[in-house]
Amino acid sequence: MFSSEVYVNRRNKLRKKIKSGIILITGNNESPMNYPDNGYHFRQDSNFLYFFGIDLAGMIGIIDVDNNIDYIFANDYDIDDIIWMGPQPSIKELASGCGVKNTAAFKEVFDFVKKAINTDRKIHFTPPYRHDNMILLNELLDIPIKSLKEKSSLELILGIVSLRNIKEDIEIKEIERACNIGYLMHTTAMKMAKQGIVEREIAGAIEGISLSFGTVPSFPIILTVNGQTLHNHYHGNTLKNGNLLLIDAGAQTSMYYASDNTRTMPVGGKFSNKQKEIYQIVLDSNNHASSLMKPGKTYKEIHLAASEVLANGLKQLGLMKGDIKEAVALGAHALFMPHGLGHMMGLDVHDMEDLGQIYVGYDDETRPSDIFGTAFLRLGRKLEKGFVLTNEPGCYFIPELIDIWHKEKKFENFINYTKVNEYRDFGGIRLEDDLLITENGARILGDKRIPIDVEEVEQTMNM
Ligand code: GLY
Ligand code: MN
């Protein structure tokens, strides 16, 4: 945990953004895997972590806006808990660690909230994403489960987003720690990517690195010779020389700050010319995007600029044709990159996606596109100093998508389908860095950038 003042300050800042009422911040509970006592690794809710910092199940925090008081409702460990899980500080002691003086048993929250409802106080809560918390909110507030999302507080969502979008220095340090763990995960994978190894052997090894320096990875590892499937979690293929191996993996520190990096490498340690050509285009797109980042630029313009670099490169190889600016504006390049350039990152790998991407990544000035590809851009808004985001252009050859577009004669004036079909078994390449927006630009987080130039990657693989 950070020091108690950090949490007191954050709650006070949030209070100032909300006109009146009480704010409920539900913590997470244990989540059973295959029977109640065999749970998934516990993951605290990120809003609870941000405002209260306590990494334990079964808690609810309340921020009373009108009376300037905060509460934690949770049960002390009883002797059964202690026998099986060991002693814990009391809830009072834990709460004092985040500057909260008022605590009570969990069941007391029902009376507390009922009183607030009976006195017509506004109850603010965020859209729940776990079913047990949906049931809890339904019982506390008497709102049907299917209406909870629409009845959640936009005022609270926007208040939280405005705080969490700007990373504090102590948060940046944690994210850098996560990036350094990510560096070790990716460079280890590069050294392991040899013919005969099964994907899961590398996935297991790098998951172990995340666990040994922090906790479980920030999302299920994507590690595949079929990188054309964007979120491929199948790890059963045996690597063969000539394959491209795409690894999208990030760590979490023990305080749950995330990293998220993607590298793509040639099994056996040497890119073919065909692979190198596409790789370099994706790398140019990545480098161009990061060179444009600074406060005041919208990420939507940077996404489009990075897409133009990609499409221009593909034109040079004969895969695209025509006016590239126009092709990108109309979305023709999305055959090769059907996703956005990046997203916010922090306590969540897709930061605050539970609150709604539209509030995190967009604002009144920048609205999402409805064009296939660009519509999947999670972050479009004007950049501000203190944003932490990912830069992850890619180029994929998805046979099923190629066939559909080809049959529809889609964008025939921009896409050379005969040439594209020569790449049907190419796979996919994505190159992803994590960056902090600074006063005048942006910098890649972590002590060292994970090897990314062709020669650097080959060198690391052959160490
Ligand atoms: N790294 C996974 C994603 O950004 O969706
Ligand atoms: Mn990402």
The reply to whether 150 and 179 lie within a common domain is: no
Going by the DSSP 8-state scheme, the letter that residue 422 receives in this structure is G
Q: Decide: 348 in ligand 1 pocket, CB within 6 A.
A: no
What gap in Å lies between CA 228 and CA 231, rounded to an integer?
9
Look up the CATH number of the domain holding residue 124: 3.40.350.10
The reply to whether 159 and 190 lie within a common domain is: no
The reply to whether 157 and 195 lie within a common domain is: no
Closest residue CA from atom 2 of ligand 1 = 248
pLDDT of residue 154: 98
Q: Name 455's Cβ contacts closer than 8 Å, sequence gap at least 6.
A: none
Q: Tell which atom from ligand 1 comes closest to the C-alpha of 432.
A: 1
pLDDT mean over 416-424: 98
Band (8; pLDDT cuts 50, 70, 90): very high
pLDDT mean over 148-173: 98
Number of compact structural domains in the chain:
2
Q: Name 127's Cβ contacts closer than 8 Å, sequence gap at least 6.
A: 148, 149, 152, 157, 354, 355, 356
Name the amino acid, one letter, at 434.
D
Q: Decide: 354 in ligand 1 pocket, CB within 6 A.
A: no
pLDDT mean over 204-233: 97
pLDDT of residue 279: 98
The total of other beta-carbon atoms located within 10 Å of residue 10's CB is 22
Q: Decide: 376 in ligand 1 pocket, CB within 6 A.
A: no
User: Pick from 112, 139, 164: which residue ends a domain?
Assistant: 164
Instruction: Write phi, then psi, for 255 (nearest 5 degrees).
Output: -95, 10
The reply to whether 229 and 132 lie within a common domain is: no
Q: Tell which atom from ligand 1 comes closest to the C-alpha of 260.
A: 1
pLDDT mean over 418-423: 98
The reply to whether 133 and 225 lie within a common domain is: no
What gap in Å lies between CA 312 and CA 318, rounded to an integer?
10
Q: Decide: 64 in ligand 1 pocket, CB within 6 A.
A: no
Distance of alpha carbon 378 from the chain centroid: 10
Q: Tell which atom from ligand 1 comes closest to the C-alpha of 350.
A: 4
The total of other beta-carbon atoms located within 10 Å of residue 70's CB is 25
Band (344; pLDDT cuts 50, 70, 90): very high
Residues of the domain holding 190: 169-461
The reply to whether 128 and 182 lie within a common domain is: no
The ligand whose atoms approach the alpha carbon of 230 most closely is 1
Q: Mean pLDDT in the chain?
A: 97
- Ligand 2 center to 436 CA (angstroms): 14
**Candidates 218, 260, 376: which one to mutate for ligand 1, based on the most atoms within 8 Å of Cβ?**
260
Task: Kindly report, residue by residue over 226-248, the tens digit of the pLDDT.
Answer: 999 999 999 999 999 999 999 99
Band (38; pLDDT cuts 50, 70, 90): very high
pLDDT of residue 448: 98
- Ligand 1 center to 260 CA (angstroms): 7
What b/e string do you get for 100-139 counting C-beta neighbours within 10 Å, with b at 16 or more?
Answer: beebbeeeebeebbeebeeeebbbbbbbbeeeebbebbbe
Instruction: Dig out the tokens for 230 from the structure.
Output: 């964007």
Q: Tell which atom from ligand 1 comes closest to the C-alpha of 262.
A: 1
pLDDT mean over 408-431: 98
- Ligand 2 center to 432 CA (angstroms): 7
Q: Decide: 2 in ligand 1 pocket, CB within 6 A.
A: no
What gap in Å lies between CA 379 and CA 434, rounded to an integer?
14
The reply to whether 325 and 400 lie within a common domain is: yes
What residues does 375 pair with on adjacent strands? none
Whether pTM > 0.75 for this model: the answer is: yes
User: Pick from 164, 182, 198: which residue ends a domain?
Assistant: 164
The reply to whether 114 and 184 lie within a common domain is: no
Q: Decide: 219 in ligand 1 pocket, CB within 6 A.
A: yes
Look up the CATH number of the domain holding residue 276: 3.90.230.10
pLDDT of residue 431: 98
Going by the DSSP 8-state scheme, the letter that residue 122 receives in this structure is -
pLDDT of residue 95: 98
Angle between helix 169-192 and 199-213 (nearest 10): 150
The reply to whether 437 and 348 lie within a common domain is: yes
The reply to whether 124 and 224 lie within a common domain is: no
Q: In this prediction, what percent of the chain has a pLDDT beyond 70? A: 100
User: Pick from 149, 164, 179: which residue ends a domain?
Assistant: 164
The reply to whether 160 and 173 lie within a common domain is: no
The reply to whether 101 and 219 lie within a common domain is: no
Band (156; pLDDT cuts 50, 70, 90): very high
Q: Decide: 433 in ligand 1 pocket, CB within 6 A.
A: no
Task: Kindly report, residue by residue over 298-324, the tens digit of the pLDDT.
Answer: 999 999 999 999 999 999 999 999 999
pLDDT of residue 48: 98
